[in-house]
């Protein structure tokens, strides 16, 4: 997948909706909406990952303090009752380490579904603004191709998201 530049997306979108007087402005607004949704998604995911990282850090510290307290107990008490608890603490510390080192605490999750939905919504908005009659959800149709261009990947299959948008906009349509 080679993402499109904004200029190339603008040119392709103009071809798909036709050369209307204010098409460039409308397409720019649609692309801006998509970019702002992406920035917001990344910011929220990064904040959530940082908060989760802090919670995992607090939990790890508590486990380490518990293990240290277990080690400081007298031998008869430590050997009988708390031997299994120490092993459980080790297991939970391993889980925390895995969570910290897995995806990375500061890397947002990839959630392209949101961006695909926004692209489908903006394409629908553009086509209905210009009174397009052929708003269908087939992959080869103008609506899905415009949504893919706004998504900056003309080969992307956004037919699912286009169908969802059509169902929401026109109850009873398939």
Q: How does pLDDT run across 7-27, given as a tens digit for each residue?
A: 778 788 877 777 777 778 888
Where helices occur in 3-82 by DSSP H, the ranges are: 6-17, 23-71, 75-80
For residues 1 and 20, give the distance between their C-alpha atoms in angstroms, rounded to a whole number: 30
Q: Are residues 158 and 123 in the same domain?
A: yes
The encoded tokens of residue 33 equal 């909406």
Q: Which domain holds residue 132?
A: 6-40+111-169
In a domain, 56, yes or no: yes
Percentage above 70 pLDDT, the chain: 81
- Residue 133, Cβ density class (10 Å: 0-12 exposed, 13-18 middle, ≥19 buried): exposed
In a domain, 1, yes or no: no
What is the count of structural domains for the chain? 2
In a domain, 141, yes or no: yes
Please tell me the pTM assigned to this model.
0.57
**Can you say whether residue 103 is alpha, beta or left, with left for phi > 0 and alpha for psi between -120 and 50 degrees?**
alpha
Positions in the chain short of pLDDT 70: 1-3, 43-48, 80-81, 83, 101-112, 171-174
Q: Are residues 118 and 165 in the same domain?
A: yes
Q: Are residues 73 and 87 in the same domain?
A: yes
**Can you say whether residue 63 is alpha, beta or left, with left for phi > 0 and alpha for psi between -120 and 50 degrees?**
alpha
- Last residue of some domain: 74, 101, 128? 101
The residue behind tokens 């009659």 is 133
Q: Are residues 33 and 116 in the same domain?
A: yes
CB 161 within 8 A of CB 123: no
Q: Are residues 163 and 133 in the same domain?
A: yes
Q: Are residues 141 and 92 in the same domain?
A: no
Q: Are residues 64 and 145 in the same domain?
A: no
Q: Are residues 85 and 66 in the same domain?
A: yes
């Amino acid at each position: 997948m080679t993402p499109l530049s904004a200029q190339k997306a603008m040119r392709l979108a103009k071809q798909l909706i036709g050369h209307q007087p204010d098409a460039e402005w409308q397409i720019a607004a649609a692309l801006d909406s998509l970019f702002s949704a992406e920035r917001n998604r990344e910011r929220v995911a990064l904040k959530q990952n940082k908060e989760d990282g802090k919670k995992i850090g607090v939990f790890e510290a508590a486990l380490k303090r518990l293990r240290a307290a277990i080690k400081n107990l007298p031998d008869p008490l430590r050997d009988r009752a708390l031997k299994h608890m120490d092993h459980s603490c080790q297991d939970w510390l391993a889980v925390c380490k895995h969570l910290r080192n897995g995806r990375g605490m500061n890397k947002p999750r990839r959630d392209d579904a949101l961006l695909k939905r926004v692209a489908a919504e903006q394409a629908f908005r553009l086509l209905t603004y210009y009174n397009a009659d052929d708003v269908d959800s087939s992959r080869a149709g103008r609506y899905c191709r415009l949504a893919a261009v706004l998504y900056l990947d003309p080969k992307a299959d956004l037919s699912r998201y286009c169908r969802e948008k059509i169902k929401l906009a026109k109850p009873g349509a398939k």
